[in-house]
Structure 1
Amino acid sequence: MAVVYGAISAVLLFWHGAWQMLFGDAAALGTDWAWVLGIVFLVLTVRGVLFPVYVRQIKSQRAMQALQPRIREIQERHKDDRETMQKELLELYRTEKANPLMGFLPMLVQIPVFLGLFHVLRHLKPTMPEHMKTLYGWTVTQFDSASSATLFGAPIAASLRSGAQELSLLGADGTTVRIVAALLIVTMIATTYLSSRQMILRTGWAEDPPQRMVQRLMLYGIPFSLLVSGLIFPIGVVIYWVTTNLFSLAQQTWVLRKYPPPTSGTPKATAAARRDGGTPAPARSLAPKVGAKPTTARRGASRGR
């Protein structure tokens, strides 16, 4: 993980240096903007690198959605022979260039980045020995500057659960830290929910019960878990998470317009979409169009009369 910590530090220090050239070391509104914007642009760097992967993820999801009828057919035909079922499914994925695991790749790549930033920010303590301050490519000056950096008066290295001793070492006011951290945690939970909801409503609720359960877990379980884990996240990490969510909302809006999900007008899909708050695709009307020519059966009946 030392390589990850070093890479995260390098990107963070690069952007901090870039913004410091513009703002210097001056703080405004109790905020060291060079460090806060350094975290924001760390997110933008990571998400920019992952953008082509995200596009491939969307294309793979569309391919998987289009293949669902054929997948169900294979599963039904070989429900008593799992080995043959798996072979045919793998062959189907290969020929149609669909990867069911592609949806997890962007998330898996971001986990080390998140853990790396969490470690680096937890490492920022004024009492840290000098030989520890220079780990991961930092200088002592950079370390001391980051350890005292604040957002609206709350140190970015502090968390909602920071004790009196830690707050004293950071030179922070406990009330200010709790207010800023609480507001950020609420924003983090809300944007996480909105990001998950946007994706589900645009791609559609799964008809398969296990997949639908996973979607519900994504929609409700992850935001709820952040209510607990957010208590120990440093403020800088919550800034990272909120920025990631806002980027995701904008990215999903653009990508899902460019690669719209396939629609389904079946009664089952329509009922499922209504039940879960989605927008069902318009079903094909069974009524004859105005001005349409009568069918052969109707013409025969008319002549009989």
Structure 2
Amino acid sequence: MNTILSPLYYAVSWIIIRFHDLYSLVFNEDSGWAWGLSIVSLVIVVRIALIPLFFKQIKSTRNMQALQPKMKKIQERYKNDKQRQSEEMMKLYRETGTNPLSSCLPILAQSPFFIALFQVLNHIANNDKVGVLTADQVTSAREATIFGAPIAARFLDSADKLAELGASLTDVRVVTVVMIVLMSASQFFTQRQLMTKNVDLTVKTPFMNQQKMLMYIFPVMFAVFGINFPVGVLIYWLTTNVWTLGQQMYVITRNPTPGSVAFQQRQERLRKKGKLKEDPAEVEAKKAAEAARATRTQPKRQSKSQRQAGGTHPQGKPESGQPSAEQPKKAQPRQQPKQRPKKSQPGKPKSPNSKK
């Protein structure tokens, strides 16, 4: 392993030395700030070099989103056969050239640099030369401290070993615990931001389950293995997590995945600013609806006498139970009005034929 990664030892140590020379113009060359900022600058160089890979990751994520409808159909078709469902999913991935684990590519690409930095700091802790570092530079880096914790110190180091580095056990453990917590928290929020804002949660797929699993596994892994990392490696990984969080936030805000919460929020912002361009599909749907309304026949209006005479429906059809205009109404027998009896006038005798 050392033989394979030895070129990386030289590359990592050379980058650190160049930035250390730069920061020594501002800080003491033996201070932890000069060496710590050199490690931070190493992260920035590595992440800039990985930007093309990051865009490839975004493209692969877009492909995964485009496959969601097909994946949902596979789930519904083979919902009772999980093995067949997984086989069809993998077949779909192969046919479309999509990698469901593409979100792990930046981490995997950084692994060689991470291992190389880890080994460089191990050599510094053991006061051994490594890469392009001279003996004086190794001693300077070995004794440099950040908040009282040497860059080469670990959480599990004994008090005697830390005393050789001129540090106390309490200072080292407090600093390492704080950095491990920050490192795990930044990793968790980075993955959570992706899951809650930039993924369509209405469709449940194996890809979604993998992302959700990674959201909880990675922080636990960092917390467990972080106790074995030197302070310098913790600085490296905390910096790269913060970089990833900010880079991902920028992409989600400016170019979110269609159908995600971030996409809806962006559409709403553009709508308020009057910059939202209508979707061509929505425009076509509106035109079709307007054409359908224009070609629809409107019912003819009838006068009141026509409605009373014919009893027809507004569209010309007779109502149920009503005779049409062509069928005459049946003649109804005319009722004679009842006659009111005449009042007898006083002083006149009643007629003999009148009823008593």
**Alpha-carbon contact 2:186-2:238 (below 8 Å) kept:** yes
Counterpart among 259, 281, 294 of residue 255 in structure 2: 259
Find the counterpart in structure 2 of residue 112 from structure 1: 112
2:230 to 228, 231, 234: 234
Corresponding position of 1:271: none
Greater relative contact order (CA < 8 Å, ≥ 6 in sequence): 1
User: TM-score of the superposition, structure 2-length normalised?
Assistant: 0.66
Q: Offset of 1:72 from its aligned partner?
A: 5.0
Map of 2:310 onto structure 1? none
* Aligned counterparts of 1:202 and 1:235: Cα–Cα separation in 2: 33
Residue deviations 1:51-99 (CA, integer Å, cap 9, x gap): 1221221122112211222355578889969999866653433xxxx55
Q: In the aligned structure 1, how far is the partner of 2:314 from the partner of 2:199?
A: 45
Give the direction of change, closer, same or farther, for the CA distance of 1:155–1:85 in structure 2 (3 Å limit). Answer: closer
Of stretches 53-62 and 209-218 in structure 1, the one that deviates more from structure 2 is 209-218
Residue of structure 1 aligned with 2:141, choices 124, 132, 146: 146
Is 2:4 the partner of 1:8? no
Q: 1:35 to 1:250 in 2, by over 3 A?
A: same
Q: Which residue of 1 aligns with 2:324?
A: none
Gaps of 5+ in 2: 266-285, 300-312, 320-356
Name the counterpart of 2:177. 182
Matches within 5 A, 1:9-158: 9-25=13-29, 27=31, 32-71=32-71, 89-93=93-97, 98-100=98-100, 102-125=102-125, 128=127, 132-133=128-129, 135-158=130-153
Between 64-73 and 234-243, report the one with greater CA deviation.
Answer: 64-73
Query: What root-mean-square deviation, in Å, do the aligned CA atoms of Structure 1 and Structure 2 show?
Result: 3.4
**Where do 5+ consecutive residues of structure 1 fail to align?**
265-277, 283-288
| Secondary structure at 1:22 match in 2 | coil
Q: Are the aligned partners of 1:8 and 1:117 in contact in 2 as well (CA < 8 Å)? A: yes
Q: Which amino acid aligns with 1:13?
A: I
| Matches for 1:226-305 after TM superposition, within 5 Å | 226-263=222-259
**CA-to-aligned-CA distance 1:193-241 (integer Å, 9 cap, x gap):** 1111112222226534533332222211211222221111111111111
Query: Per the alignment, do residues 99 and 230 of structure 1 end up closer, same or farther by CA in structure 2, a change over 3 Å counting?
Result: closer
Pairwise CA distance, 1:145:
0.7
TM-score scaled by structure 1?
0.76
1:138, CA displacement in angstroms?
1.1
Q: Give the letter aligned to residue 209 of structure 2.
A: M
Q: In structure 2, how many angstroms separate the alpha carbons of the residues matched to 1:84 and 1:154?
A: 53
CA drift at 1:298: 11
C-alpha contact (below 8 Å) 1:59/1:259 kept by paired residues: no
Number of equivalenced pairs: 271
Equivalents in 2 of 1:74, 1:24: separation in Å?
62
Equivalent position SS for 2:67:
helix
Separation in structure 1 between the aligned mates of residue 12 and residue 93 of structure 2, nearest angstrom: 39
Within 1, Cα distance between the matches of 2:229 and 2:297? 71
Using the TM superposition, name which of 71-80 and 140-149 deviates more. 71-80
CA distance in 2, matches of 1:214, 1:89: 15
Q: Which has the higher helix share?
A: 1
Specify whether residues 72 and 165 from structure 1 end up closer, same or farther in structure 2 by C-alpha distance, changes over 3 A only.
same
Identical aligned pairs, as a percentage? 39
| CA distance in structure 2 between the aligned counterparts of 1:42 and 1:117, rounded to whole angstroms | 10
- What is the distance in 2 between the residues matched to 1:233 and 1:178? 12
1:149-189: CA deviation from partner (whole Å, max 9, x where unpaired): 11011101111111122212212111111111111111111
